[in-house]
Amino acid sequence: QSLEIVSENQLSLCVRLVFEKAVGEPGQAENCAKICKEMQMKKVKIALGIGGGEWFVNFRKLLISICQKEFEQDGFKDLELRFENGIDMSAHFCQENEKLMKRSFVNIPFIGELYMENMLTARIMHKCIMKLLLAADEYSLKCVCKLISVVHNKLDQETRHRL
């Protein structure tokens, strides 16, 4: 809380550092989610609004935006098209594909841990699970299993009364 962040650029950098730590080092998702919970309301002024009001951006909003972008990443589609069209079947292609899959796969537990820290809602978790189930490919099914393994107890308790 005493971290001096005064610009949107500094806040964005801070969010990016925590995110990269969470997805870049196995086993750090839970710790990084706890850091995010503490930092979630850290905000900075970004501009004057209409009528002279102030506009702010906060840590939580930036973080969720990054997680969502990473979750919805279409990098796989580009790689698949290149492969299907015979454009790139090199070792570099395989490395790119593996790198994207690994990065995306470690984003999943981080998303789950953010939910466990009440930074994401049950509704968002259900949307993530549905998107992964509807994709119905092996990779997406592995991801949904990983996500459910993190959130199942809390998600079940939170949504049981709605059924």
pLDDT (tens, 9 = 90+) of the chain, 163 residues, equals 566 888 888 999 999 999 999 988 878 999 999 999 999 888 888 766 666 677 888 999 999 999 988 888 754 454 455 555 555 556 655 666 566 666 667 789 999 999 999 999 999 999 999 988 998 788 888 889 999 999 999 999 988 877 6
Residue 54's pLDDT is 76
CA-nearest of 145, 89, 141 to 112 is 145
Q: Is 86 helix (H, G, I), strand (E, B) or coil?
A: coil
**Per-residue CA distances from 54 to 13, 48, 51, 68 (Å):** 22, 5, 9, 26
Helix (H) or strand (E) holding 49: none
CA-nearest of 93, 73, 99 to 81 is 93
CA-nearest of 64, 56, 13 to 37 is 64
Residue 150's pLDDT is 93
Residue 79's pLDDT is 45
| CB distance 125 to 115 below 8 Å | yes
Q: Is 11 helix (H, G, I), strand (E, B) or coil?
A: helix
Angle between helices 29-39 and 59-71 (to 10 degrees): 140
Q: What is the dihedral of CA 143, 144, 148, 150, to 10 degrees?
A: 20
CA atoms within 13 A on the CB side of 32: 25
pTM for the predicted model, two decimal places: 0.78
Residue 72's pLDDT is 80
